[in-house]
């Protein structure tokens, strides 16, 4: 008679805003049961912002999934000989010196075999070559200190961290939760989808081939660079420049002129990444799904579409999800939706919690 419920809060601890989304499983159905966002003022405390988010969000659960990103994190796609998962866990430790810029004793690492075969393996199968025995392994590592800092912030607020993820992979988890259609084969060539989240400090890219990650990267360009450009152009303080960037009706020309060089640099790096994927994976990246506060800048989506020569659109990670209207301000949630991809992806772990 009573369906079992369990809840998890996905906590995106960004450099300028803390965003939290709670997802509750009502039977098998994921439902958004909480939402909060708190901006971190210049010189403000991340810990204080987290505390404020949980105070205003009134979440059911204190179980939290958060993530790490930036220079403390390394993700690599490693070719290895085929082996069992148990053997892989042991063998990967002997490969780390080739791929990680950190000492093994100062990181936490994990790995997973990908279903997708390395490019060219099909030919190896026909010829009985060595490629037939190859697999691609996703290797992820993060400095232990960075993880401990995240855990400490949560525990200081009386919260229970159940997992520490990586921003890049939270994007794919949000996409999967949405149940968006998978890529198709066009003109005999497999297509791929690029998830691009433009945060304040950096832009995260995760390219999905057949619904599985095949490339990921962080670019150190983000919405804060656009805000600084607007501040310089209009001789304003950062807070005023951010407000004008988000609602630029009165200064549209000046804002577009200011952020143009930033978008140009971003598009250049994004294009290089997508061209690399197409060359090394033998796929065609046909669409870019954009998220993050940076996409709210005027004309950003159109600029990226034109600059990369690929379809681009802003996506809503709440597509297909029911929202508990008794607990969540739906209008506010929808207004923030494009910036909530990481938080939703983190909260999607409720299905495995």
Q: Exposed (0-12), middle (13-18) or buried (19+): which is 324, by Cβ within 10 Å?
A: middle
pLDDT of residue 190: 86
pLDDT of residue 125: 43
64 within a domain of the structure (yes/no): no
Quote the tokens at residue 19.
């965003």
Both 310 and 234 in a single domain? yes
pLDDT of residue 118: 72
pTM surpassing 0.85?
yes
pLDDT of residue 122: 46
174 within a domain of the structure (yes/no): no
CATH of the domain at 98: 3.30.1490.300
Both 198 and 251 in a single domain? yes
Is residue 61 within 8 A of residue 9, CB to CB? The reply is yes
Task: Please report, in tens digits, the pLDDT of each residue of the chain (353 residues total).
Answer: 345 679 999 999 999 999 999 999 998 999 999 999 999 988 899 999 999 999 999 999 999 999 999 999 999 999 999 999 999 999 999 989 899 999 999 999 999 999 987 764 544 444 445 556 899 999 999 999 999 999 999 999 999 999 999 999 999 999 999 865 555 555 567 899 999 999 999 999 999 998 899 999 999 999 999 999 999 999 999 989 988 888 767 788 899 999 999 999 999 999 999 999 999 999 999 999 999 999 988 889 999 999 999 999 999 999 889 999 999 999 999 999 999 999 999 999 999 87
Q: Which domain holds residue 273?
A: 181-314
Both 186 and 308 in a single domain? yes
CA distance 262 to 300: 10
Both 187 and 255 in a single domain? yes
210 within a domain of the structure (yes/no): yes
The DSSP line for 162-218 is EEEEEHHHHHHHHHHHHTPPPP-EETTEEEEEEEEEE-SS-EEEEEEETTEEEEEEE
CATH of the domain at 271: 3.30.420.40
Question: For the chain, what is the domain count?
Answer: 2
Is residue 143 within 8 A of residue 103, CB to CB? The reply is no
114 within a domain of the structure (yes/no): yes
11 within a domain of the structure (yes/no): no
Both 211 and 290 in a single domain? yes
Both 306 and 217 in a single domain? yes
159 within a domain of the structure (yes/no): no
């Amino acid at each position: 008679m009573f369906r079992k419920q369990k809840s998890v809060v996905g906590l995106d601890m960004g450099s300028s805003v803390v965003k939290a989304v709670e997802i509750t499983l009502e039977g098998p159905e994921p439902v958004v049961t909480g939402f909060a966002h708190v901006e971190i003022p210049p010189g403000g405390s991340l810990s204080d912002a987290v505390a404020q988010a949980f105070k205003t969000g009134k979440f059911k659960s204190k179980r939290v999934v958060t993530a790490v990103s930036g220079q403390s994190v390394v993700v690599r796609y490693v070719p290895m000989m085929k082996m069992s998962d148990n053997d892989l866990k042991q063998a990967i430790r002997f490969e780390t010196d080739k791929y990680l810029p950190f000492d093994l004793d100062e990181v936490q690492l994990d790995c997973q075999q990908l279903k997708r075969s390395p490019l060219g393996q099909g030919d190896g199968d026909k010829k009985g070559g060595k490629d037939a025995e190859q697999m691609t392994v996703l290797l992820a590592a993060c400095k232990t200190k960075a993880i401990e800092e995240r855990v400490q912030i949560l525990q200081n607020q009386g919260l229970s961290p159940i997992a520490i993820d990586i921003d890049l992979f939270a994007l794919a988890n949000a996409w999967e939760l949405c149940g968006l259609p998978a890529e198709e084969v066009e003109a005999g060539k497999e297509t791929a989808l690029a998830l691009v989240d433009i945060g304040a400090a950096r832009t995260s890219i995760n390219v999905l081939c057949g619904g599985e990650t095949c490339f990921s990267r962080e670019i150190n360009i983000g919405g804060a660079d656009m805000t600084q450009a607007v501040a310089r152009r209009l001789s304003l303080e950062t807070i005023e420049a951010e407000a004008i960037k988000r609602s630029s009706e009165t200064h549209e020309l000046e804002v577009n002129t200011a952020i143009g060089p930033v978008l140009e640099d971003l598009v250049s790096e994004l294009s290089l990444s997508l061209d690399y994927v197409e060359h090394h994976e033998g796929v065609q990246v046909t669409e870019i799904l954009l998220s993050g506060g940076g996409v709210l800048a005027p004309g950003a989506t159109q600029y990226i579409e034109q600059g990369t020569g690929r379809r681009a659109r802003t996506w809503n990670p709440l597509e297909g999800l029911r929202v508990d209207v008794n607990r969540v301000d739906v209008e506010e949630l929808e207004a923030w939706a494009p910036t909530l991809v990481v938080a939703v992806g983190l909260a999607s772990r409720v299905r495995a919690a």
